[in-house]
Amino acid sequence: MQRLSLAGLAVLLHVLWADRREIIGPRLRDGAITLGILHRLEDLPVGWSDTAQEAAQYRVVPRADSARFGHVTGPLSWKRWLFLPEEVLFRAVRDDQDGGFTLSATPTAPLRAFLGVRGCDLAAIAIQDRIFAHDPAYCARREATLIIAINCLEPGGTCFCASMETGPQARGAFDLRLTEWLDAGTPSYLVESGSAAGRKLLARLPIEACTPEDQARVEQALAQAATRMGRQLDTGGLAERLAARPGHRHWQQVAARCLSCANCTLVCPTCFCSTIEDRTDLSGTTAERVRRWDSCFDLEHSYIVGGNVRADPAARYRQWLLHKLAYWHTQFGTSGCTGCGRCITWCPVGIDLTVEAAAVAGSEA
């Protein structure tokens, strides 16, 4: 572990820019800490926090210090730069002579760095890596992305990464990992590398040595943070209990409140459903296939000739929760939930996954 001063953080950004990487990181926009392209150092949300999240409730508030990463997960997740909200998968041109057609796909993969990826989101990226393991465009973008993670010392009101074992320490496939440490309101950054690329990068930064005490303080703070989660989810036997209760009356009770608006699925960093639209230009000679984010809350999602499998919104909520917390284990060997809390915060009517899951898991019928 080493230390990077605030000026050193600036060097990090400049080095990345010098490498022609687009830096995606936290920015204050429209009353939220969203993710976006950082053009200058000041784009970081200096002295802003959003940790006081609640179900259907999000506000940014000023902090007393000048922390850059003194917030948690906002409305956007990193998936929009890897699994794009909308993407052309191929274009096709009809050949006039023989009625056939020629297809071409040109996935673009700009060089990028993600700055400030938290434990929950790092886990989410790992999950999507597995889902999209064969998707050429995803893999190309993933390949071109450098990940700079950040440890969480101040969890938010809807966070429960500790329950899901994805945080508050960022673990897994990062290139660099930072911990923002405030001394009298001024931040500096403890930094570790997690890959060869990370080590190379680190070598170009003005790092300072850091003491065993520093290290101990971070570990202690992380342990502390784990006890301050706004939410928790008892995962013991959860998947089995949920899967065994597709007929539970609670599904209908949630459906009475649920808007089937799909916000929960779209903010979730692991949700991967997509739909396909094939279309042509007006002359009919060129066609393209577009993939865009879809959701199991959409009626059309379950359409087959003769009817929609999940016409009842209760069935759609059940699909979401069961997929996330039960079926995902069978499909990908992990939970589909990383405990980031977004689906709780951004559900307009405050439906809380931890509460609903506990309600179904907690009683038989």
Partner 1 sequence: MNAARNTARNPSRPRLAVFKFASCDGCQLSLLDCEDELLAVCEAVEIAYFPEASSAMQPGPYDIVLVEGSITTAHDRERIRRVRRSARRLVTIGACATSGGIQALRNFRDVAEFAHLVYARPEYLDTLAESTPIAAHVPVDHELRGCPIDQRQLLALLDALLRGRRPSIPSAAVCTECKRAGQVCVTVAQGTPCLGPVTQAGCGALCPGFARGCYGCFGPKEAPNTDALAVKLGELGLDPPAVRRFWHTFNAGAGAFRRAGGG
Partner 2 sequence: MNATPGGADPALWLPEPWRIERVRRELSDTFTLELQPTAGGAPLRFLPGQFNMLYAFGLGEVPISISGDPEADGPLVHTIRAVGPVTEAMRRLVPGDVLGVRGPFGSCWPVSGAEAEGCDLVIVAGGVGLAPLRPAILHVLRHRQRFGQVCIFYGARTPADILYRHELRRWRGQFDLLVDVTVDRATQDWAGRVGVVPRLVEGGGYDPQHTLALVCGPEIMMRHTARALLARGVRRERIHVSMERNMKCAVGLCGHCQFGPHFVCRDGPVFRFDVIEALMTVDGL
Ligand X SMILES: Cc1cc2nc3c(=O)[nH]c(=O)nc-3n(C[C@H](O)[C@H](O)[C@H](O)COP(=O)(O)OP(=O)(O)OC[C@H]3O[C@@H](n4cnc5c(N)ncnc54)[C@H](O)[C@@H]3O)c2cc1C
Which of 29, 94, 171, 228 is close enough to bind partner 2 by CB under 8 A? Answer: 94
Q: Which parts of 57-116 interact with ligand SF4 (CB under 6 A)?
A: none
Sequence-distant (6+) residues with CB within 8 A of 120 are 73, 159, 161, 164, 166, 167, 269, 338, 339, 340, 341
Candidates 5-13, 152-160, 209-217, 278-286; binding stretch for partner 2 (CB under 8 A) = 278-286
Q: Quick one: DSSP state of residue 92?
A: E
- In the region spanning residues 305 to 324, those forming contacts with partner 1, defined by CB under 8 A, are 313
**Interface region with partner 2, contact rule CB under 8 A, candidates 48-56, 162-170, 299-307, 357-365:** 299-307
CB 25, min distance to ligand SF4, A: 19
With contact defined as beta carbons under 8 Å apart, do 107 and 315 qualify? no
Touching ligand X, residues 288-317 (CB under 6 A): 303-305
Q: What is the largest CA-CA distance in the chain?
A: 75
Which tokens belong to 210?
Answer: 């850091």
Residue closer to ligand SF4 (CB basis): 120 or 176: 120
Residue 297 near partner 1 by CB under 8 A: yes
Quick one: which of 37, 39, 41, 86 contacts partner 1 (CB under 8 A)? Answer: 86
Give me the least distance between CB of 58 and ligand SF4, in Å please.
13
Residue in 51, 151, 188, 263 binding ligand SF4, rule: CB under 6 A? 263
Distance in Å, CB of 140 to partner 2, minimum: 7
CA distance 54 to 308: 34
Q: Interhelix angle for 313-322 vs 250-257, to 10°? A: 110
Residues 6+ away with beta carbon under 8 Å from 356 = 250, 254, 317, 321
- Does position 346 interact with partner 1 (CB under 8 A)? The reply is yes
